A = this chain, B = another copy of it.
Amino acid sequence: MAAGGDNEELKLLGFWASPFVHRAQVALQLKGLTSCEYVEEDLREKSDLLLASNPVHRKVPVLLHAGKPVFESMLIVQYLDEAFPAAGASFLPADPHARAAARFWAAYADDHFFSTWIKAFVGTTEEEKAAANEGAAVALQKMEDALEECSKGKAFFGGDNPGYVDIALGGFVAWIRGYHQVAGVNLLDDARTPLLAAWAERFAALDAAKAAVPDVDRIADFARHDLLPLLQHLHGKADK
């Protein structure tokens, strides 16, 4: 299938501040699938299309391709590789061992970095928030090692081009920067994770990231005022 062959049949259901949606948007940009229609969801009043497309989790992002839904951000990224093999470089490397490593570290970004860090936002005590920030920083130190191992001295986890792990962790870069503004805690610290701090600069400077990810000021503003009420609303409905 040629790049953008049936580009016009792509639709992404998203929410502008979601780091998981940013992953899908960056991946679409990197593949050159820029005519994908973007539909902003109101997470307090999810559309019938979202509820019908993702009946199990009812979460964004959802990619619709010729009407068929794909959900979960990193499954969307893999889907774009597999459904549009001619569109841009593959996000996953060719070598099976390197593919397994990329999948491992992308999952690590969710299961160890994000799932720890989220408690810095939703925690109820200062101790809990401090522990979450420290746990997140430790997870990023592991990813600093992974960057060295996967990149082999090149710019990205994926080598010369941003790949699967870059997209997975890159989705959080604007949030890490926004959180620095809001809470005064810099998780991409030159002293603690110098390689990752430089990587984040490179990631944020990508045309794909600039096109897909909102300004850090907007994220910081959202984190300050809107995140907790939204999470409480969604949690109250047992439907995040």
Q: Footprint of B on A, CB under 8 Å?
A: 56, 65, 68, 70-72, 75-76, 78-79, 82-83, 96-97, 99-100, 103-104, 107-108, 142
B residues in contact with A76, CB < 8 Å:
100
Bound-state Cα–Cα, A83 to B93, Å: 13
Known: A71-B104, A72-B104. A142 touches B56 (CB 8 A): yes
A72 partner residues in chain B, CB cutoff 8 A = 100, 103-104, 107
Report chain B residues within 8 Å CB of A99: 78-79, 82
Copies in the assembly, this chain:
2
Output the least CB separation between A9 and chain B (Å): 12
Residue of chain B at shortest CB distance from A108: B56
Given known contacts A72-B107, A107-B72, is B56 in contact with A78 (CB within 8 Å)? no
A18 vs B142: C-alpha distance in the bound complex, in angstroms?
26
* A100 interface neighbour in B78, B97, B100, B104, Cβ under 8 Å: B78
Q: Which residues of B contact A83 (CB under 8 A)?
A: 96-97
Chain B residues near A82 (CB-CB < 8 A):
96, 99
Tell me the minimal C-beta distance from A96 to chain B in angstroms.
4
B56 and A68: CB pair below 8 A?
Answer: no
B97 touches A78 (CB 8 A): no
Q: What residues of chain B lie closer than 8 Å to A65, measured between beta carbons?
A: 97
CA distance A75 to B100 in the complex (A): 6
